Amino acid sequence: MYKWRTESVENRDLIHENAVLLLQHGMIYRRFSEALITGESGWVIHCLKYFTIWLQNGEKLASLPNYRQEYLHLMCCFTHIWSSKFFAHWKDQCLVNLSSSAMGFMPCDQLGEYVVRENKDQINHNVTPPNDLFARDIKARQVLVFKAARENMERTTGAVKHYQHSSTVDSSVDIRTITMRLLQDKVFIRNPGRRNYSGQGESMVTSSIDLFGLGCANVLSGQFIEAYKDKMRRNREDEVQELEEEALDPHEHEI
């Protein structure tokens, strides 16, 4: 893909390039989501490596500076900072399973968001000190118990789950429609010079962002990596300075 985009516009097939990028990005996302559900932390780590490269792309429309820094730091933790025992601990604990189902795993932060959402729902509109204290000290500690009890009652009574479909949605019709349209336009066959879909007039097709290609180029340039290393050095220098100040005046930080 990166090589194709070095050619002139007249020799490029924008439609085919976008289709290839759709497959590349879609397959990684699908593999990542399946790894989360089935608890395969090894595949999670493998996909995170791709996401780390993607986030180095530098495009304004797809650049997330905070996530870029966090992913770089996470990769450094995997390979340099964490001990082998701590890394093994992270792999064992990065996903949780509350249902004991083989397809029931979820990221820890997703569980945290669920707990926070359930607790917010328990906050009364006319909050008073007694009911606020009851919600925080009693209800908040029982969120996961409530979840298990509710699901058990739903299964026992056959009740329809709120905000969810009562039956599994069949997506085969939509998938078949989209697939047939892509095959009719022959998007998976490279045709140099093609720049618009059939029946769409003469308007140019917008070229999708090649996250992996641009990310690899920026990783090789070392720009973002050097910025991360400089930040880590500054943080380390600040920590050393604080330790030296505490050593000179050990009573300064006493309460």
For 145-167, what is each residue's pLDDT tens digit?
877 787 788 788 887 766 554 56
Tell me whether residue 133 is exposed, middle or buried, using C-beta atoms within 10 angstroms of its C-beta: 0 to 12, 13 to 18, 19 or more.
exposed
pTM of the model: 0.76
Q: pLDDT by residue (tens digit) across 195-220?
A: 776 655 566 688 889 999 999 989 99
Tokens at 7, concatenated: 């050619």
* Across 211-234, average pLDDT: 89
For tokens 């429609």, what's the residue?
177
Please report, for residues 47, 50, 53, the alpha-carbon distance to residue 222 in angstroms, rounded to integers and kept in the order given.
21, 17, 12
pLDDT band at 252 (very low <50, low <70, confident <90, very high): low
Vertex 7 angle, CA 61 and 22, to 5°: 45
* Across 110-134, average pLDDT: 83
Give me the pLDDT at residue 163, please. Answer: 54
* CA 70 – CA 72 distance, rounded (Å): 5
CB 56 within 8 A of CB 215: yes
